Chains A and B, each alone.
Chain A
Amino acid sequence: MLSSPRSATDLTSGEAARAAAGLRLVAPDAAGPVIELRGLTRVFRKPLDFAARAANLLGADIREEVVRAVDGVDLSVQPGEVVGLAGESGCGKSTLGRMVAGILSPSAGDIYFEGRRVAELKGQARRDYALAVQMIFQDPYTSLNPRMRIRDIVGEAPLVHGLTSRAELKAYVREMLSRVRMDPQYDTRYPHQFSGGQRQRIGIARALAVKPKFIVCDEAVAALDVSIQAQILNLFMELREQLSLTYLFISHDLGVINHLADRVVIMYLGRVVEEAETDELFARPNHPYTTALLDEIPRIETRRRVYQGIKGEIPSPLNPPSGCYFHPRCPHAMPVCREVAPPLKTVAPGHRSACHLNDRPA
């Protein structure tokens, strides 16, 4: 890093220079989080169609459908960390992941990449961020363009962005394929010639080809057979070691998250309800929702049956309950829960939870 020659006589100006440099450097440096989310929010609106507007003219009261898919999420991810993101279907995990990966734009709030506000990035810096954060998708059958050969699927982006040359492309792609433990000779084939697990490897190779630092895995193994799941999860962990990657690992499978994540974030209807180191969260869950989820972790053989049995329906995100979103289903709900949304509070070092139970005098 910066090694500026300093002399004793030059101390003050040297310090000033370092302070100034520090101001700029503190953020992109390894010390800060790779990704930081502040109040990140995404609202989906379904505008009224012609029929609805006509009906409204005649006195009907049809409102625009508004879903706050992600609602004011704060989160920071340190370099090298694996953060697990869990929650029931529809709670906004994918929406959050897509915003982080730059596929969806936030409605409000900010994403900071290596300390810099993504919304302000332009040109080269913007591109660097876009490439540094990659995503692995859930469905290995729709995530690869069926009409492109593997070498084009993997090689297109690095070629477009000048990470390799046309002459070296073949070798580059083959290297990426060996990284994900695929036979490099497959590079001229089409996606339909591969199995689900292999396709997922190709998707990983495609992401690795642009040298990412941060990878969002959105249910990346959920569509695979259990035996294949383990292989892909191991691949993720190998790559993390080799390439010092950071992951946001989205899964509704708490077993997988327990196995993989350093830290776990639990979401409910677009909000973070609890966040802690993995061991802490599994040993001492604080939020009643987390407790309910943990009770539901199925045995290996029934892994696919997740979350059944939390009492009550998931409320519609179109029309969330008042106060604590979980109160209609919470066994500990109190009058205050219906009125006031509980903020996230630190309940132990590194452990935050959003529940009014923590406000009661012990």
Chain B
Amino acid sequence: MAQFVKTDSGKRLTRLITNGYMDNIVKAQQGAFVVWIAIIVPAEIFAGFDNVLYCVPESHSALCAGKGVGVSLCEKAENLGYSMDLCSYARIDMGCHFNQGADSPAGGLPKPDLLVSNNNNCTLLAKWFDVYHREWDIPHFILDIPFCYESQKQRDMEYIVSQFQDLIQTVEKLSGQKFNPEKMAQAWENSVEANKHWRRFLAAAKNKPSGITAFDSFVQMAPTLTMRGTPELAEHYRFLADETEARVEQGIVPAPNEKYRLLWDNIAPWHQLRKMSSRLGALDANIISASYTYCLGSREGSLDLLDLESLSPLEGMARLQNFSICPHGLQLRGRAMKQAIEEMDIDGVVFASNRSCKVYSLMQMDQQRYVQEELGVPTVMIDVDHADERKYSEETAFVRMEALLESIDEARR
């Protein structure tokens, strides 16, 4: 099994993320207005203010799970009466912040002055944030974003933009700070630029063998959530894309003996990233792509970049309210997956049935049937939980994944 060596962009990422969490704590102590947001909330809006910072509890929970404290934090929330059936991100977050940031590898998040959720990724985020709204008596602004069975319609975009305008007024009122649309516009340009380089990085998966693993993309996705709109994000993704392209040119790839090119459908199993990647590598299998990451910035139902040129920043952000896979219906997900399978020459698909994410998982049985029966691509479904390791069995998962590899071999005969 190859020894894991961090790339320069991996080291850079660690510094960025660590500094980001520390900076937030310091700035909050110095009086910054703190907003907790769900991942799809347009963070660029807050860049339009001089002293507003945002934190992303979901991303923090993923970090906790990745660092091995997910289970203990879940248990803390369960001891407070929260059901084990609730999303593990939420349980980790509540377990941490109702215990003054205990066990957080990042020192916890500074307490918010405002909570902003949206409901198209999942409505549960609004219920989760409502817990803090009640316990800490903090205002909670919900962005109401229609679910997409087809591409977002103009009317939906207008409705969303009107809510962004309300959000801006809310932040102005609560923070006492004046909104500067030019600063927000600059942040938006940074995000658009960052996304272009992100796509360059993901495109390395088309190489044979793939220049990346999906696990790289899971980890490198973090700053999109926590640093969106910053020039540092754009610069980091440019660095990441350049380094990845250079490595591919030099033949430095994560799975040189790549025999099986796999696609992962669902959120990353944060507590298993390195283990799963290594164990698959030993089988000459590489999960090269994931629906969780290839949808960022894409048109619904496609891997193609959204054309945002003709849109104002607020319109562009409204359009990108669908940047995750969860707001998409079955047909849209199927079309995007078909394109991913074809463009990246995928041999097999791993459907990770995730107990903590119904919005991602409940369509998977039909999606699996579509991929297996209509596209003729071998698939497997394994049981996971993205952040609660108690709901994952490595041996059971690998028995199934090894069976997938055998199916792929069989299909090749």
**Are A and B bound to each other?**
no
Q: Give the A-binding residues of B (Cβ under 8 A).
A: none
